[in-house]
Structure 1
């Protein structure tokens, strides 16, 4: 919905034009009116206008002076001047500007509506303009590196649905990998230093270029820098060498990474430690494998010499205490998963939350003892997410009895981990249901405020503008318009008109109230405008309605 402002110092003209344009359903305009250029400027300072239909000759501030103010505030606004025959030379210089046109006052409402329709079409075309798309594409190309980095990090943190990891997405981001093939993962970390951010960033970029120089001839790869300033590479054999398998690619990377390390030391003056996974990982398991690599990197074997760990399995088993079995970090306990659960609960993403919860808790199905430490850690972690959410939104008291609150941090209250998991599901369901109820309650409260204000101010059109109504509830005007339609099923303008007509009919049934007074009490400036709108909606004049009502 676009906003149009009618500006004319003659009240009857401003009222008539705004009434006609507001009731032209095909245009779907949010129409305002001002009786002077100064009044129009005040409106420009409150909200954006898309089209201004203004008289050229007005006291205090004429149309050309108003145009200057429009261009300062809303340069994309279309301006249509209403002129007389003897005023064309006056407006000629103004219509040289883009987005400015004129109409003769004698051309009638149909011509004005046609001109406004043309302005609306021009705005809609501009929103789809090739120049805008081209500019967006250029900016997208400039951001490609940032988007690639963000995408890879989200894969590593399991912040993407599996459906989002596909070839189309990789191609769009110019990531030279295949979504249907596994990847090798390599992690690089520089020695801690007190260098400033800009210098550290340049060195990380240099390290990435060096690695690409030594590796890109035989493998496809992409890299990302995480929040710890580590570099992570995802690597695959080149498509034309796929028949040679991952073994050759792994051998090549192992043989080359030592050269990369030496080159970083010589060229960038930076000591870099590397950990390379010893087998390819399928895309859904990348986050789990990366968590293991990150843990191995944190062992920090040696000091400042640049660790080079090329056989994860040997090293992993060698670092285990004597007599202990090697055990991977459980899928359910990764911090990225827990952080995602908290985020999905906060943002009301019910389906994604339950999918994540089920995948994270799969290990519970196989555990029998209620004293298992890993299962308890998972249970407490999810319980803490729930507690944190309920505290923020002050839901502890309303929910205490409904969810048996004492069980939330006491897994021993359940007979098995299966029943414990079902309880966690139940608490989540209660919280999501309460979210929906609260969201609807807040929306209904807003609609009630708006409807009451409209009922109380039908006599004052200024209080019924979309901008004014949006200010009452601190919303954006366009959002309020969409919300009102969503909650009530009718447009805001239709509701206002309906309220006016209902009140008008009640007043017309009282024979001692003049029709002019009825028009003023329901917000129409003149009896003429009131009669025009009344007849259009009820197919009879106000006087005909009064006669019919009194006869009954």
Structure 2
């Protein structure tokens, strides 16, 4: 789904084009409108826009001034200028920029639609990644890259004193960051890496994701990237060094830019290597010493799932901080010498991979069930290693009461409460099943809560068109727009745009059944500034005009 912004100081043109493109469902556009260059700039500051359809001659900020702002914020945005005159100077200046087209308003809707279609096709072509895939295969790792990765990983683990994180160290390692400034952290995860995939193939996919991200981030920011032990992709990001604006504005612009481009990265990864990538983005810059705690929270944010889909973008660390405000996050426990198996078990529990979890669980406990003595030290270690995974998870997510309601949690750390090792393993399996059941219920509740918030907002604010756009609604629940769109359809059974239209029709009928409310007021109450646009919308849905519907209802009453 691409985002189209229509800009014109003549409301009748803006509203007319807005309605035309809203009804072109085959283009799959999220459409916005602005009645001035400054109003358009406010929208561009809040979200990524892919195509701008703008009048070139406007008061205060004309189209060319707006074009410069667009080029500075969203360099990949396509711009189509509309004008009532063949203004040579404007045309000449406009065509100096890449990705700019020019049309006369007299050419009609069909030409304008074709221009937007061409712009969308041009964006699609630019998202072909064959060259980047080849580059990924040719450029995996150097010695300096390994040193960089090791240094950055240790920063996340909190292994350095503050004085050890300095610019000299950064320069020696070739890090393109400033140690004296804060940093924004972004975590990504490939959701659909097949189990048992060879390391070389997995590495190529991860490096392809990295290069696709670089394609977008390098236009506007400085950053470093590395991969943690669980194959999560980590970016440390700062505004470009040559930017001189107010620091707060720079960070806000940086966050908006990252949010906007992560969706394009997700799209590129899916189209090029069929990789579904989820992201968790920190909501504010952090000092280097704060990164270990931020990292722990963002990893939990990444696993804070909604529905059964993948490819998420979660953008608010406070989502987790609210959930965890009464919880003491515990450090990982030291496990047995077979640590990787237990780490995999913990990881599959954390990520909600139920089938994989019980497969690993069966491998770990197959021999444990056969041990005769409850005092066997190796058996005790294996049992407590699994029990500690459960205990850590229960404490971090504050699930003690929920688990205790279903089974005796006091048995978890007391092997002597079990008659045999078979009983002990059966108990652990029961606890694991309970935890996954809780996950499913919580996930369903979170999903219903999100959809409930969206539906209530639409019903309450249907009269404000700017507040029922996909981007606005996604920001409301801290999800990326494309994921919210899929989730809404998955739960409700219809597209978000269809639901909004359904709410408008329902409320329109209610208003029209009251003869004291004028039809132009009904239009205003539903967010239509021009009554004829409301009439067109209502006729298309009901096969009659608002007035005909009112006459029909009132006639039946009498």
The answer to whether the superposition gives a TM-score over 0.5 is yes
**Equivalents in 1 of 2:427, 2:419: separation in Å?**
11
**8 A Cα contact 2:36 2:58, kept in partner:** yes
**Equivalents in 1 of 2:77, 2:375: separation in Å?**
68
Q: Where does residue 260 of structure 1 map in the other structure? A: none
**8 A Cα contact 1:534 1:541, kept in partner:** yes
**After superposition, what is the alpha-carbon deviation per residue over 1:75-127, rounded to whole angstroms, capped at 9, x for unaligned?**
10000111123324422331242211122111222222121111111111111
Q: Where does residue 388 of structure 2 map in the other structure? A: 384
**8 A Cα contact 2:50 2:77, kept in partner:** yes
**After superposition, what is the alpha-carbon deviation per residue over 1:495-523, rounded to whole angstroms, capped at 9, x for unaligned?**
11111111001111112211111110011
Q: Where does residue 352 of structure 2 map in the other structure? A: 348
- Does structure 1 residue 461 correspond to structure 2 residue 493? no
Q: Where does residue 215 of structure 1 map in the other structure? A: none
**Equivalenced residues, count:** 385
**Equivalents in 1 of 2:41, 2:501: separation in Å?**
27
Q: Where does residue 446 of structure 2 map in the other structure? A: 442
**8 A Cα contact 1:64 1:91, kept in partner:** no
- Does structure 1 residue 135 correspond to structure 2 residue 132? yes
Q: Where does residue 67 of structure 2 map in the other structure? A: 67
User: Does the residue aligned with 1:510 lie in a helix, a strand or coil?
Assistant: coil
**Equivalents in 2 of 1:368, 1:349: separation in Å?**
31
Q: Where does residue 494 of structure 2 map in the other structure? A: 490
User: Does the residue aligned with 1:371 lie in a helix, a strand or coil?
Assistant: coil
**8 A Cα contact 1:332 1:359, kept in partner:** no
TM-score with structure 2 setting the length: 0.65
**Equivalents in 2 of 1:530, 1:500: separation in Å?**
10
What 5-or-longer segments of structure 1 have no aligned partner? 151-159, 174-225, 228-330
**Equivalents in 2 of 1:440, 1:167: separation in Å?**
34
- Does structure 1 residue 412 correspond to structure 2 residue 416? yes
- Does structure 1 residue 480 correspond to structure 2 residue 512? no
Shift of 1:441: 0.7
CA distance 1:118–1:389, shift in 2 (3 Å): same
**Equivalents in 2 of 1:171, 1:540: separation in Å?**
59
Q: Where does residue 94 of structure 1 map in the other structure? A: 94
**Equivalents in 2 of 1:332, 1:13: separation in Å?**
70
Q: Where does residue 538 of structure 1 map in the other structure? A: 542
**Equivalents in 2 of 1:421, 1:122: separation in Å?**
58
**Equivalents in 2 of 1:455, 1:171: separation in Å?**
47
**Equivalents in 2 of 1:523, 1:161: separation in Å?**
45
Give the number of the structure whose alpha-carbon radius of gyration is greater.
1
Moved over 6 A (4+): 145-150, 170-173
What 5-or-longer segments of structure 2 have no aligned partner? 150-191, 206-228, 231-334
Shift of 1:161: 10
**Equivalents in 2 of 1:336, 1:162: separation in Å?**
18
CA distance 1:398–1:389, shift in 2 (3 Å): same
Shift of 1:525: 1.1
Q: Aligned match of 1:512 in 503, 509, 516?
A: 516
- Superposed CA RMSD in Å reads 2.7
CA distance 1:448–1:171, shift in 2 (3 Å): closer
Matches within 5 A, 1:268-279: none
User: Does the residue aligned with 1:164 lie in a helix, a strand or coil?
Assistant: coil
Structure 1, 333-342 or 493-502: larger mean CA deviation:
333-342
Shift of 1:139: 3.7
**Equivalents in 2 of 1:60, 1:93: separation in Å?**
18
Q: Aligned match of 1:426 in 402, 411, 430?
A: 430
**8 A Cα contact 1:333 1:360, kept in partner:** no
Q: Where does residue 262 of structure 1 map in the other structure? A: none
Shift of 1:162: 9.9
User: Does the residue aligned with 1:524 lie in a helix, a strand or coil?
Assistant: coil
**Equivalents in 1 of 2:440, 2:31: separation in Å?**
34
Structure 1, 411-420 or 15-24: larger mean CA deviation:
411-420
**Equivalents in 2 of 1:411, 1:14: separation in Å?**
72
CA distance 1:119–1:387, shift in 2 (3 Å): same
- Does structure 1 residue 499 correspond to structure 2 residue 503? yes
Matches within 5 A, 1:208-247: none
Q: Where does residue 180 of structure 1 map in the other structure? A: none
TM-score with structure 1 setting the length: 0.66
Q: Where does residue 108 of structure 2 map in the other structure? A: 108
Shift of 1:137: 2.4
**8 A Cα contact 1:459 1:523, kept in partner:** yes
Shift of 1:144: 5.1
**After superposition, what is the alpha-carbon deviation per residue over 1:334-375, rounded to whole angstroms, capped at 9, x for unaligned?**
111112211111111111111111111121133122222211
- Does structure 1 residue 164 correspond to structure 2 residue 196? yes
**8 A Cα contact 1:6 1:33, kept in partner:** yes
**Equivalents in 2 of 1:460, 1:161: separation in Å?**
42
Shift of 1:163: 5.4
Shift of 1:168: 8.6
User: Does the residue aligned with 2:25 lie in a helix, a strand or coil?
Assistant: coil
- Does structure 1 residue 32 correspond to structure 2 residue 32? yes
**8 A Cα contact 2:345 2:357, kept in partner:** yes
Q: Where does residue 282 of structure 1 map in the other structure? A: none
Q: Where does residue 126 of structure 1 map in the other structure? A: 126
**Equivalents in 2 of 1:162, 1:100: separation in Å?**
42
Q: Where does residue 452 of structure 1 map in the other structure? A: 456
Shift of 1:401: 3.1
**8 A Cα contact 2:84 2:104, kept in partner:** yes
